[in-house]
Structure 1
């Protein structure tokens, strides 16, 4: 009788432990989904213009931009960890560039993101138009998407 009671107690304890383990794992997974950062900031602003060299020169002269043929990079520090640096790129493109296609707009915004692969998988499930495949470079990973109005958006997971 005592052995049977111990077995029932042990079995009850195992069932309870199993339930609590499952609940804990489910809570962790749910919290990770809810807390997944998508966009963490603006990585760049790109726009079409008639004469990128003249625009670069104007911004350098009148607003103090340190321009190159690729625009300029604004360096900043992460608010949560001031030892981490980041950049936001500003870049004028020629009026006839095809880089913004399939969008017909004269601008494109680059958003900084964390975990680009996971974000793209999530966006696919949400039926967001993914324009191309993720590409990797020394300075990070990129992919392009379209918003509902056809604006091309560049997503960038930087290697700061």
Structure 2
């Protein structure tokens, strides 16, 4: 049986693709090349299905949520606040899994930030 090797991309609709790409590059620090390619560090990737009525993903019309691994969640959230990003109050700590925080991109998509345990 053939198997998926990893996440190959994340594609979103945008009112202003250039501005949104710049936000992900300049505010979140994605090291994007001219084609939008980013070489992520090796590490775990989680696939999880949530109940249809969950609030975890953000707005009810947001069907998916990007989760990005970070080295230092507190430092990343401070960096995002300093850049004027909308940071969701609160941090969730799951023993053995890690710490989680959230930011909302300029077009209203909730993004989860994960510092693995």
Which structure has the bigger radius of gyration?
Answer: 1
1:113 CA displacement:
0.6
Structure 1's unaligned 5+ residue stretches are 1-36, 41-77, 80-85
Change over 3 Å in CA distance of 1:131–1:102 after alignment to 2:
farther
1:107 paired residue number: 64
C-alpha RMSD of matched pairs (Å): 2.3
1:153 paired residue number: 111
TM norm structure 2: 0.59
Higher helix proportion, which one?
1
Q: How many residues align?
A: 80
Change over 3 Å in CA distance of 1:132–1:103 after alignment to 2:
farther
Q: Pairwise mapping of residues 1-160 of structure 1 onto structure 2 (< 5 A)?
A: 38=29, 79=42, 86-102=43-59, 104-138=61-95, 139-159=97-117
TM norm structure 1: 0.44
Per-residue deviation, residues 21-68 of structure 1 (Å, max 9, x unmatched):
xxxxxxxxxxxxxxxx9569xxxxxxxxxxxxxxxxxxxxxxxxxxxx
* Runs of 4+ with deviation above 4 angstroms: 37-40
**Preserved CA contact (<8 Å) 1:38 1:119:** no
**Preserved CA contact (<8 Å) 1:39 1:113:** no
Structure 2's unaligned 5+ residue stretches are 1-27, 32-40
**Preserved CA contact (<8 Å) 2:102 2:111:** yes
Per-residue deviation, residues 70-124 of structure 1 (Å, max 9, x unmatched):
xxxxxxxx65xxxxxx321111222222222246310101100111111111110
Higher strand proportion, which one?
1
